[in-house]
Amino acid sequence: MANTSDFDSEESWFEPREIIYNVLYYKQNVVFLYQIINIMKNFLLIFVAILLIIPFGTIGIVYALFTVRPLSPYWRGIAESIDQMGNHICGPIFNQWLLLSEGYPFGNIDETVSSVLGKNKVIGTLSPAGKWLDKILDWLDKDHSINAIEKNP
């Protein structure tokens, strides 16, 4: 009888090298797909956050105008939060435009733009654009960036 099973052929399906290659290839594709899904989720979260902050942020500030005293720390907290968010969002571009290559980097979510400017002013790593921004802040508030330096951001 010429009827042989697949297991008897010389080109067996059980090639260890082929199995390892297939497993690694499959794992690589799964990791890549997982990374793409995470990137898409992050952008979706950013989009939803922006959609929510526009109406609710506006309503919250308008409401606070009538219920929170003008000298309350609430207003300073809003300014500092926006400043920290700006440092984090614009970190890559600020590093490129406001610093010399070896400066203290922007981008830490827990640190303000002014604090990073102050640290770079002290160590002398502000670019001409960074020095210009620091001068504007100094004109608005004497020694603003130096006084804004955070010890442990």
How many C-beta atoms surround the C-beta of residue 126 within 10 A?
Answer: 23
- In DSSP notation, 91-113 reads HHHHHHHHB-TTSPPS--TTS-H
Let me know whether 111 and 46 are in one domain. no
Q: What is the mean pLDDT of the segment spanning 60-81?
A: 91
> Helix, strand or coil for residue 95?
helix
> What backbone phi and psi angles, to 5 degrees, belong to 132?
-65, -45
- Report the pLDDT value the prediction gives residue 153, as an integer from 0 to 100: 63
Calpha distance 148→119 (Å, rounded): 9
The answer as to whether 4 is a domain residue is no
Let me know whether 62 and 86 are in one domain. no
Verdict on whether the full-model pTM lies above 0.85: no
Using pLDDT thresholds of 50, 70 and 90, give the confidence band for residue 12.
low
Q: What is the mean pLDDT of the segment spanning 122-151?
A: 93
Range of 108's domain? 80-153
Asked if 107 and 99 touch (Cβ cutoff 8 Å), the reply is no
**What percent of the chain is predicted at pLDDT more than 70?**
90
The answer as to whether 45 is a domain residue is yes
Tokens of 56: 């609710």
